[in-house]
Amino acid sequence: MPQTWATAFDEIMRERRSIRGFLPDPVPDALLRHILETAQLSPSNCNVQPWVVHIVSGAEAERVRAALHDHAKTGADVSPDFPLTGAYPGEYRTRQIDAAKALFSATGVERDDKAARTESFLRNFRFFDAPHAAFIFLPEWAAMREAADAGMYAQSLMLALTANGLASCAQGALSHYADIVHRELGIGPELRLLFGLAFGYPDPDHPANDARTTRSTIDDAIRFHR
């Protein structure tokens, strides 16, 4: 493998991060198809390729965005196709809190400003104003192994977006009201919504994009057996 490949991959991995402020400019169809064809090369258990992706753009994105945001704003109970994770324990909760602090610090949201914190959360359902959102579904029969396949696909998609000058944000929140997504996209129970992904061109002036999170060291995450 040429050294330039390794260097390019390192740069793409380090450049990719969750972006929460997008420009309205749509991604050209030809470029989007190229990116999706690249992501489709993702590995999967027994090559079953269980992911089914629905992408909304233009007027459809605006319609689904409005439906999700308006529903979430009512405080309705969540209706996910897959159970949501409960409270994170220990160090995982600490990482979650640190990530929220980084975002609120970048956007000037005070800890005690409940209205601003609520509005910050509701931006999830507007895809952070991205011109596109991908909803990643699995077949009704799929389980944890297929969810892992979908995660590998999403990572491939996000890296392909980054390599082509675009940005993304994987969003568990877009699965909170799966019934709304099913209704708006006309999708039956044969598919279950795992999560969504906002993408487009990043807005360099949006304060949310100044948020930075850290990663554990490999000594924290990896155990070597020799």
Residue 177 lies in a domain: yes
Question: Residues of the chain with pLDDT > 70: what percent?
Answer: 100
Residue 154 lies in a domain: yes
Question: For the purposes of burial, counting CB atoms within 10 Å of the CB of 102, is it exposed (0-12), middle (13-18) or buried (19 or more)?
Answer: middle
What's 149's domain CATH number? 3.40.109.10
Residue 226 lies in a domain: no
Q: What band does 1 get if pLDDT is binned at 50, 70 and 90? A: low
132: nearest Cα among 67, 58, 186, 185: 58
Residue 131 lies in a domain: yes
Residue 159 lies in a domain: yes
- Statement: residue 69 has pLDDT above 70: yes
Q: Could you give the number of structural domains in the chain? A: 1
Is the Cβ–Cβ distance between 50 and 150 less than 8 Å? Answer: yes
DSSP 24: S
Q: How many CB atoms lie within 10 A of CB 13?
A: 11
Per-residue pLDDT at 110: 94
Residue 90 lies in a domain: yes
157: nearest Cα among 41, 23, 45, 48: 41
- Mean pLDDT on 122-128: 97
Q: What is the pTM of this model?
A: 0.95
Residue 31 lies in a domain: yes
Residue 45 lies in a domain: yes
Per-residue pLDDT at 2: 74
Q: What band does 145 get if pLDDT is binned at 50, 70 and 90? A: very high
Residue range(s) defining the domain that contains residue 59: 3-221
